Structure 1
Amino acid sequence: MQIFPKEEIIPGGQENSRAEFLAACPEGKRPGLYLHIPFCGSKCRYCNFFSVTGKQKIPAFLTSLYQEVLLQRRVFDSFDTLYIGGGTPSILTPLQLADLLSHLRQNFEFTEDAEVTLEVNPADIDVSFLEQIRLLGINRLNIGSQSFEDKILDFLGRRHSSNQALQAIMAARQAGFDNFGIDLIYGIPGQNRHSWKMTLEQVLSLKIPHLSCYQLTVEPDTPLGKACAQGLFKMPDNDELFEFFMETSEFLEDAGYCHYEVSNFALGACRISRHNSKYWQHIPYLGLGPAAHSFDGKKRWENVRSLDSYLLRLSRGERPVENCEILTEDELQLETLFLGFRTKAGIDLKSFSEKFGFDLWTKKKHALEPLLAAGHLKITAGRLQPTRTGMALADSLALL
């Protein structure tokens, strides 16, 4: 089967080819599909993701999304992951989700074992909702818990309570989901390492299959960022954040979790997020919806960060692409290092050499040896891997 018809043009006006696609997607590494659902019941104080509040424009958005599906259905051949994120995708009804998945299956090919993830807010879901969406083929959940402390949830501006977060986890199990994860945030003003450890102990008691632990980032244009700039609270310093990270990693790994990416932990390889792993492994993906990003192995493009512009462009039959860039070899190398050093697997030196035409160890030995000596990196079975301290410093390791 030909993946791209002859002379097919992708966003940005650059021609693509089957050969380029196969080079970017080696055997066993199919692309992933991401959908951005830009609606929320309310806006969290820390959130910098693109979203709008209210449900009024959901029908118009879905109509436009289906039009984008038609325009993009030949970019990639088939997918083995689908991630529906946002925003708050659980704001959609089971009927709307059923219609959405039907459109996707009519226009895209998915492997039989495809991982299909839906992000959910604990305030939106109950057992009945989850049972209905599981019957649609959604087989993985990501629950936006963020904390089990009400005072922390209030500070973050979340619209659910700690009890609702716990109820959501129990509802997921009752509905038959054995593959799900929760998000938690640390480094929050008023949160100390003792209370954070109590949260992690609660995670262990609940036997959560997958856990994402994110350090709070205060973005300037968010309500939290503005409050911080006014001196209304003080963020933890870098040394304290480093201790949060190190203690979290050690505690969860001692409990049997695999710390497979800077912010992510899984109870066994079968619970690793297959979709998100594509981003860290530089595997191509297609993003649909406003502000969604796509990557084909060499080119990256981004949709407009405006719901109204997104609706208008698609009503005219236009792709809603705002920016497109072709990455240079140097940029691809840097991204490969940057993303690889965020993961426990690290960089496969042989694969890196085959992809970029030079031996990383030979060329960067002068920079790598001090990092190995300091205990930030190690070499195991031909892989250059970050240690726990290396993962804490992952962003700087790539600047070899």
Structure 2
Amino acid sequence: MNSINSVKNPGLYIHIPFCVSKCFYCDFYSTTSISAVSDFLDALFKEMEMYCHQFNPIDTVYIGGGTPSLLNPEQLEKILTRVRTNFNLIETPEITIETNPADLNRSFLESIFKIGINRINIGVQSFDEKVLDFLGRRHSVKEAISAIEASRKAGFKNIGLDLIYGVPGQGIGVWLNTLKQGVAFSPEHLSCYQLTLEGKTPLGVRCQAGEFSIPGDELQYEFFMKTSGFLEDAGYIHYEVSNFARGKEHTSRHNQKYWNHSPYLGLGPSAHSFQSNQRWWNHRSLEQYLSAINEG
């Protein structure tokens, strides 16, 4: 079990806002303006210098998005170098990166493991091609499997899979098959999210237009209970609403900060921060974010 002090130490969240394309259900802020990566990194490093003295020591770093795996290893190394320069990072930090399976190969994974990233979340979402197509994911089942296997071979000992249930037409059987395939890789962590549709997303618009309906409460409850029962039988502990870990040592130290009201600093566009019962957030626009940081 993580100590209370570990939970109460500040955590650092870094939002990488770039995506090749927007998944049909996603309401997180992202942009396809990948040519702006250099300008973004310059602003990110300035923002670190602005806030680092308020958040120390930190014991978790979470690189989310967006799609952080669109950055190359050299860019990710620059980010972590600046983190270590500006913050008092404890000796055994949890450093997580979110990834898309389509971006992952053995060389990339070995490189990011060597620079100190020790926890990887892979956005598998499903092991069913029809579900992936419905969600607008840009990876295939084959790519997801390859990414998981390559992550293990690259040295990662803390691998998490993100999965989504409650997809229209998915059915309990299809979902349980995805869980079985996921567990077969013995990931240390599983995040199983119920599909929620925000109004302005492509799927949200289609749902409001009556093209399909999401599962009702009774079926969603069945999805939830089947998920919890299956994963607990497989040796996972159900430690948060959507999160399961293979032992307490593999729970997400960073995510627990949100649940335990620990301080955390969010850097990058749309990122949220919390400290001393105060919450604030950055502009949900790369252009506005860059302008605000450059103006100081």
Instruction: Quote the offset at 1:204 in angstroms.
Output: 2.2
SS of 2:75 mapped into structure 1: helix
2:275 is aligned to 296
TM-score by length of 2: 0.97
Q: State the distance in 1 between where 2:126 and 2:276 align.
A: 36
1:80 is aligned to 59
2:294 is aligned to 315
Instruction: Quote the offset at 1:77 in angstroms.
Output: 1.8
In structure 2, which of residues 243, 249, 270 is the aligned counterpart of residue 264 of structure 1?
A: 243
1:282 is aligned to 261
Q: Which amino acid in structure 2 is aligned with residue 288 of structure 1?
A: L
Instruction: Quote the offset at 1:155 in angstroms.
Output: 0.4
Instruction: Quote the offset at 1:53 in angstroms.
Output: 1.2
In structure 2, which of residues 149, 169, 189 is the aligned counterpart of residue 210 of structure 1?
A: 189
Q: State the distance in 2 between where 1:120 and 1:303 align.
A: 23
SS of 1:308 mapped into structure 2: helix
1:184 is aligned to 163
Q: How many residues align?
A: 293
Q: Greater CA deviation, 26-35 or 87-96?
A: 26-35
Q: State the distance in 2 between where 1:114 and 1:27 align.
A: 13
1:364 is aligned to none
* 1:97 maps to 2:87: no
Q: 1:258-286 CA deviation, whole Å, 9 max, x = no partner?
A: 00001000001111111001111111101
Instruction: Quote the offset at 1:190 in angstroms.
Output: 1.1
* 1:155 maps to 2:134: yes
In structure 2, which of residues 81, 88, 92 is the aligned counterpart of residue 109 of structure 1?
A: 88
SS of 1:286 mapped into structure 2: strand
**1:331-350 residue pairs with structure 2 within 5 A?**
none
Q: State the distance in 2 between where 1:233 and 1:252 align.
A: 29
SS of 1:123 mapped into structure 2: helix
- State whether residues 80 and 114 of structure 1, in contact with CA within 8 Å, keep that contact through their aligned partners in structure 2: yes
- State whether residues 126 and 164 of structure 2, in contact with CA within 8 Å, keep that contact through their aligned partners in structure 1: yes
* 1:27 maps to 2:11: no
* 1:200 maps to 2:179: yes
SS of 1:158 mapped into structure 2: coil
Instruction: Quote the offset at 1:315 in angstroms.
Output: 1.4
1:119 is aligned to 98
SS of 1:282 mapped into structure 2: coil
Q: Whose radius of gyration is greater, 1 or 2?
A: 1
Instruction: Quote the offset at 1:54 in angstroms.
Output: 3.6
In structure 2, which of residues 118, 122, 132 is the aligned counterpart of residue 139 of structure 1?
A: 118
- State whether residues 283 and 297 of structure 1, in contact with CA within 8 Å, keep that contact through their aligned partners in structure 2: no
- State whether residues 161 and 182 of structure 2, in contact with CA within 8 Å, keep that contact through their aligned partners in structure 1: no
- State whether residues 291 and 306 of structure 1, in contact with CA within 8 Å, keep that contact through their aligned partners in structure 2: yes
Q: Which amino acid in structure 2 is aligned with residue 90 of structure 1?
A: S
Q: State the distance in 1 between where 2:5 and 2:140 align.
A: 44
Q: 1:127-183 CA deviation, whole Å, 9 max, x = no partner?
A: 100100111010000101101111111100010001101111001001000101010
2:285 is aligned to 306
Q: Which amino acid in structure 2 is aligned with residue 163 of structure 1?
A: K
Q: State the distance in 2 between where 1:183 and 1:204 align.
A: 12
2:252 is aligned to 273
SS of 1:58 mapped into structure 2: helix
Instruction: Quote the offset at 1:209 in angstroms.
Output: 1.0
Gaps of 5+ in 1: 1-24, 318-400
RMSD of the alignment, in Å? 1.1
**% same residue:** 56
Gaps of 5+ in 2: none
Q: Which amino acid in structure 2 is aligned with residue 27 of structure 1?
A: N
Q: Which amino acid in structure 2 is aligned with residue 196 of structure 1?
A: W
- State whether residues 282 and 297 of structure 1, in contact with CA within 8 Å, keep that contact through their aligned partners in structure 2: no
Q: State the distance in 2 between where 1:125 and 1:269 align.
A: 27
Q: State the distance in 2 between where 1:127 and 1:54 align.
A: 26
- 4+ runs of 1 displaced by more than 4 Å? none
SS of 1:206 mapped into structure 2: coil
Q: Which amino acid in structure 1 is aligned with residue 72 of structure 2?
A: T
2:38 is aligned to 59
